[in-house]
Structure 1
Amino acid sequence: MQDFSRLLALMAVAETGSISAAASKLGYTPPALSQQMAKLEREARVQLLVRHRRGARLTAAGELLVRRAREIEAILRATETDLVQFLEVSEEQIRIGTFTTGGIHLLPPVLAELRRRHTRIALSLQEFDHPDGLGPLGDGDIDLLLTSSYIHGRHSPVPAGLSSEVLLEEELLLVAHEGHPLTADSVPLHWTALAGFPLIIGRRGLADRETLEALFASRAMAPPVVAFETANSAMACALASSGVGVACVPRTAVEASTALISTRPFAAQPLKRVVSLLWRSSDTTPLVRKARCVFRETFARSGGAPSARQAQEATAASAY
């Protein structure tokens, strides 16, 4: 009895009292429905119907099977209801992972637009330094990951099972206190000029630190002199303004900084920051697809670099 439609047909015969009436209700021809009942009796290995001049009645076995079929139908309907409710709840939640400066300078306009388009959406955020968010994303603890990487040349490969889209590529600027000798000239600076100057940079294992160390090593230079370690670009600007070191900071964070700093571009842009959105390749839920579209469109409109005032306004609009 693998075909539940035959059980539904038997229930129709029980309700109408005849093969012809049940066939009319279900859209069958009477001969076709008779064949279905014959197959069901062969599967059950017992007579289910007694045919008579006025129609058909159920045997005791038929009545038992109809009771069980109605129980199965009720379970299936309840399951459908539960699944619809589960889908509605699931589709109204987006868990986003972000790096700190992305959450400060880039994410607020996206959150505001998500809330505007989906008023009932529940948003949650978690902060990760790259590449710490890749594991939670792959494990399903978050739905989307806004992450940054610092590259020289080709992009890093995306881990298996994940997909990505580049939202922003931007140059890094040298940041120092006002009057620093490295920023006295506006001519683009070659990165080798950083040798010997104390740097404000991320801890070991983070992309900016590893990439800069790789650049130094490529010229057989001594490793960078580290003054302070921080992955927060806003903090790096603030520390640089105090004169304790210089930093290589993405243009977005520099333009949003209120610290008293001086800047200088690098020649040939040996380093750049790439901001990407990642998701599980297997995740095709409608809200995740829509959220990815909002990220793409918002970054495209703003150029990926909203002003400090825009970021503050969007933060207020997306409060929850």
Structure 2
Amino acid sequence: MYDPTRLAALVAVAEAGSITRAAARLGYTAPALSQQLAKLEREAGVALLVRHHRGTRLTAAGEVLVGHVRRVLDELDRARLELARLSGLSGGRLRVGTFTTVGVHLLPPVLSAFRRAHPDVELAVADYEPPHGVAAVAAGEVDLALTHAYEPADPYPLPSGVFLESLLVEELVLVTAPGQVLASGSGRLPVSELAGRPLISGAPAHPARKGVESALVEAGAVPAVVCESPGYALVCALVSAGMGVAVVPEMVAEMAATPLTVRPLEPAAFRRTISVAHRGDASGTAAHALRALLRTGFARPSG
């Protein structure tokens, strides 16, 4: 019999691409997570992971197991949601933290589904620019919070008692004004091609983006225009006006209100992971029910 916690850890490693990143998201230390995965491999009787210089990847056996595990976890999520419905959830208040992009484009239909299932639970939503939502969960200001982390970047230390559950991983892509030379090619654009281009950067001192900015600088793409705002709306508007180019999350590029041309980058190592921060079993039944809906509502093909 496989341990469900270890199976969920294997899925987290598959999504994160490394044990270190998965451990940070799950609230473990990397050695502790490695120990759990080693026990799972002994239970399975085959190697599930291959470690390499850029992280960790699944073996063929690992791919097979993760496929089955994802289906099992989906069923468990449905079971939790059904049990939450049976429990009534006939009152109380659920406080949710979010950040702008997700709060505008992904969260509303999930909250609407929650309201239909549990009309007697009062919902309150607060805006927190990551990683402040994580601190709000730790302080008890909200019951759970949507947050994000950029790669490459140093992992954000989680407060005691707070856990992260990955919901969506998306690439960072190049956006340009329509008709610009960088927009005319096909396929992935090497990051080195950004050298000498005016790169619009939104609040480069923001902790979540420092690693990405540093990697771009190493490739010669030095920021030439700086927007002192964490919001992407201004960045995209300036790009559309021809002030420069920018590297933004795929979702931001898709939802931009101004005309943009989008191109994927090479290497495809620039990513943003959207997660929900929570207090585990201490979060309460309503928070568990909303997390189950978040998993379903945020699921979409990557890339």
Give TM-score, length-normalised by structure 1: 0.61
1:143-172 deviation line (CA, Å, top 9, x unaligned): 111011111288655333211110000111
Instruction: Summarize the Cα distance change of 1:263–1:103 in structure 2 as closer, same or farther, 3 Å threshold.
Output: same
1:82-101 deviation line (CA, Å, top 9, x unaligned): xxxxxx99953111111111
Q: Select between 88-97 and 250-259 the one with higher mean Cα deviation.
A: 88-97
Give TM-score, length-normalised by structure 2: 0.64
Deviation at 1:140, TM superposition (A): 0.4
Question: Pairwise mapping of residues 168-247 of structure 1 onto structure 2 (< 5 A)?
Answer: 168-207=168-207, 209-216=209-216, 218=218, 221=220, 223-247=222-246
Deviation at 1:213, TM superposition (A): 2.6
**Structure 1 residue runs of 4+, over 6 Å off?**
none
Contact 1:164 1:276 in 2 (8 A): yes
Unaligned stretches of 5+ in structure 1? 1-87, 306-320
2: CA distance, partners of 1:139 / 1:208:
21
Q: Select between 204-213 and 285-294 the one with higher mean Cα deviation.
A: 204-213
Contact 1:145 1:279 in 2 (8 A): yes
1: CA distance, partners of 2:245 / 2:208:
14
1: CA distance, partners of 2:95 / 2:302:
21
Instruction: Summarize the Cα distance change of 1:209–1:126 in structure 2 as closer, same or farther, 3 Å threshold.
Output: same
2: CA distance, partners of 1:112 / 1:195:
45
Correspondence for 1:8: none
1:47-97 deviation line (CA, Å, top 9, x unaligned): xxxxxxxxxxxxxxxxxxxxxxxxxxxxxxxxxxxxxxxxx9995311111
Deviation at 1:196, TM superposition (A): 2.8
Correspondence for 2:268: 269
Instruction: Summarize the Cα distance change of 1:225–1:90 in structure 2 as closer, same or farther, 3 Å threshold.
Output: farther
Correspondence for 1:25: none
Deviation at 1:304, TM superposition (A): 8.4
Contact 1:198 1:226 in 2 (8 A): yes
Correspondence for 2:27: none
Instruction: Summarize the Cα distance change of 1:130–1:268 in structure 2 as closer, same or farther, 3 Å threshold.
Output: same
Correspondence for 2:143: 143
Amino acid at match of 1:160: S
Deviation at 1:198, TM superposition (A): 2.4
Correspondence for 1:283: 282
Amino acid at match of 1:272: R
Deviation at 1:238, TM superposition (A): 2.2
1: CA distance, partners of 2:237 / 2:121:
35
Instruction: Summarize the Cα distance change of 1:265–1:131 in structure 2 as closer, same or farther, 3 Å threshold.
Output: same
Correspondence for 2:131: 131
Contact 1:101 1:234 in 2 (8 A): no
Deviation at 1:128, TM superposition (A): 1.6
2: CA distance, partners of 1:178 / 1:208:
28
Contact 2:153 2:210 in 1 (8 A): no
Deviation at 1:303, TM superposition (A): 5.0
1: CA distance, partners of 2:218 / 2:302:
31
The structure with the larger Rg is: 1
Residue aligned with 1:291, SS: helix
Is residue 258 of structure 1 aligned with residue 244 of structure 2?
A: no
Unaligned stretches of 5+ in structure 2? 1-87
Is residue 120 of structure 1 aligned with residue 120 of structure 2?
A: yes
1: CA distance, partners of 2:264 / 2:181:
14
Percent identity for Structure 1 against Structure 2: 35
1:221-259 deviation line (CA, Å, top 9, x unaligned): 474223423322333222211112212122222222232
Is residue 248 of structure 1 aligned with residue 258 of structure 2?
A: no
Q: CA RMSD in A?
A: 2.8
2: CA distance, partners of 1:283 / 1:275:
22
Contact 2:200 2:227 in 1 (8 A): yes
2: CA distance, partners of 1:176 / 1:154:
28
Contact 1:170 1:273 in 2 (8 A): yes
Amino acid at match of 2:190: H
Contact 2:204 2:210 in 1 (8 A): yes
1: CA distance, partners of 2:150 / 2:134:
16
Amino acid at match of 1:251: E
Residue aligned with 2:253, SS: helix
Residue aligned with 2:243, SS: coil
Contact 1:99 1:130 in 2 (8 A): yes
Amino acid at match of 2:241: S
Residue aligned with 2:189, SS: coil
Contact 1:227 1:245 in 2 (8 A): no
2: CA distance, partners of 1:222 / 1:175:
14
Correspondence for 1:94: 94
Is residue 293 of structure 1 aligned with residue 268 of structure 2?
A: no
